[in-house]
């Protein structure tokens, strides 16, 4: 469960990214975050995985008061949140397998379990045969699948995806969406920022629209609502 209560975020340069945002996202929801560039979507997501802290207001993820978290505790909260980016952010010198296993090494999981679970998620994202490849040897869609595998390998309760299909062609994008839906179906909350009108209007989910740092629309089975 993610809860934002009257969140304000002002950056050091004076930009007001969020102005009084309150929202409740229940467990196992799938939420699209839409709105023009610079509206505050990324800040919204960064607050969830504690890349940023709110200037004002309270935010809790799975019952943790994220804004008040001691720096020492941040890593442990992040282990329960998987993050996916438009640019994949894989470690270029590690193989597909190593990239995914890394997230489990971090939590000091036993080697045997790491191996089993990593192969499991590789199977799920359909890249079992590519486990020994380096990221640069993969297509964009495949790289994003690796990033998704890494995000889910520790069974997080929340996945935050910042324009996961932003760099992909329509067909590949649908592959990624099917995967995310499958993950959501297995019980993971998904918050996804997107500019993809077709996806939002076809795969209907809750839509939260942000403009100028405030929520202007929040619909259960919403539409994209912008011209691309």
Partner 1 sequence: MKISTVLRHLREGIKNVVRNGWMTFASVSSIVISLFILGVFLLLALNVNNLADQIESQVQIRVYLQLGTPEAKVNELKNAIGNIPEVKKVVFVSKEQGLKDLRTSIGADGSELLEGYDDTNNPLPDSFTVDVFDPQNIAYAAKKIDAIGSADASKPISSVKYGKGTVETLFRVTNAVRNIGLVVVIGLAVTAMFLISNTIKMTILARRREIGIMKLVGATNNFIRWPFFIEGALIGVMGSVITTVLLLFGYSELVQASQFELGLMMIKLVTLRDAGLTVSAVTLALGTLIGIWGSTLSVRKYLKV
Q: Where do contacts with partner 1 occur on this chain (CB under 8 A)?
A: 49, 51, 75-79, 83, 89-91, 93, 102-103, 105-108, 110-111, 150, 154
* Shortest distance in whole angstroms from residue 153 CB to partner 1: 9
* Nearest to 222, CA basis, from 199, 206, 203, 202: 206
| Per-residue buried b or exposed e for 46-81, using 16+ beta carbons within 10 Å of the residue's own CB | bbbbbebebeebebebeeeebbebeeeeeeeebeeb
Of 91 and 216, the one with the shorter C-beta distance to partner 1 is 91
Of 46 and 197, the one with the shorter C-beta distance to partner 1 is 46
In the chain, the largest separation of any two C-alpha atoms, in whole Å, equals 50
Q: Going by C-beta distance under 8 Å and a sequence separation of 6 or more, which residues neighbour residue 50?
A: 66, 69, 74, 77, 78
Of 52 and 200, the one with the shorter C-beta distance to partner 1 is 52
Of 98 and 223, the one with the shorter C-beta distance to partner 1 is 98
| Per-residue buried b or exposed e for 15-43, using 16+ beta carbons within 10 Å of the residue's own CB | eebbeebebebeeebbbbbbbeeebbbbb
* Shortest distance in whole angstroms from residue 31 CB to partner 1: 20
Of 51 and 218, the one with the shorter C-beta distance to partner 1 is 51
* Shortest distance in whole angstroms from residue 6 CB to partner 1: 26
Of 92 and 129, the one with the shorter C-beta distance to partner 1 is 92
DSSP string, 188-201: -EEEEE---HHHHH
Q: How far is CA 118 from CA 148, 176, 214, in A?
A: 12, 18, 39
Helix H or strand E encompassing 57: strand 56-61
* Shortest distance in whole angstroms from residue 108 CB to partner 1: 5
* Shortest distance in whole angstroms from residue 23 CB to partner 1: 23
Measured CA angle at 57 (ends 55, 58), to 5 deg: 120
* Shortest distance in whole angstroms from residue 22 CB to partner 1: 26
């Amino acid at each position: 469960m993610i809860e934002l209560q009257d969140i304000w975020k002002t950056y050091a340069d004076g930009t007001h990214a969020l102005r009084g945002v309150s929202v409740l996202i229940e467990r196992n929801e799938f939420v699209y975050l839409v709105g023009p560039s610079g509206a505050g979507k990324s800040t919204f997501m960064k607050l969830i995985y504690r890349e940023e802290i709110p200037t004002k207001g309270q935010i809790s993820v799975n019952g943790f008061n994220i804004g008040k978290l001691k720096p020492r505790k941040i890593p442990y909260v992040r282990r329960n949140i998987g993050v996916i980016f438009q640019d994949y952010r894989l470690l270029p010198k590690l193989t597909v397998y190593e990239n995914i296993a890394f997230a489990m090494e971090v939590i000091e999981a036993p080697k045997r379990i790491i191996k089993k679970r990593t192969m499991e998620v590789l199977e799920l994202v359909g890249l079992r045969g590519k486990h020994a490849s380096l990221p640069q040897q993969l297509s964009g869609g495949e790289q994003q699948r690796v990033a998704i595998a890494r995000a889910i390998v520790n069974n997080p309760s929340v996945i935050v995806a910042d324009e996961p299909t932003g760099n992909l062609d329509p067909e590949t994008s649908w592959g990624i969406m099917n995967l995310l839906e499958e993950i959501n179906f297995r019980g993971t909350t998904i918050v996804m920022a997107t500019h993809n009108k077709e996806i939002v209007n076809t795969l209907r989910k809750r839509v939260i629209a942000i403009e100028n740092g405030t929520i202007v629309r929040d619909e259960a089975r919403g539409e994209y609502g912008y011209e691309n």
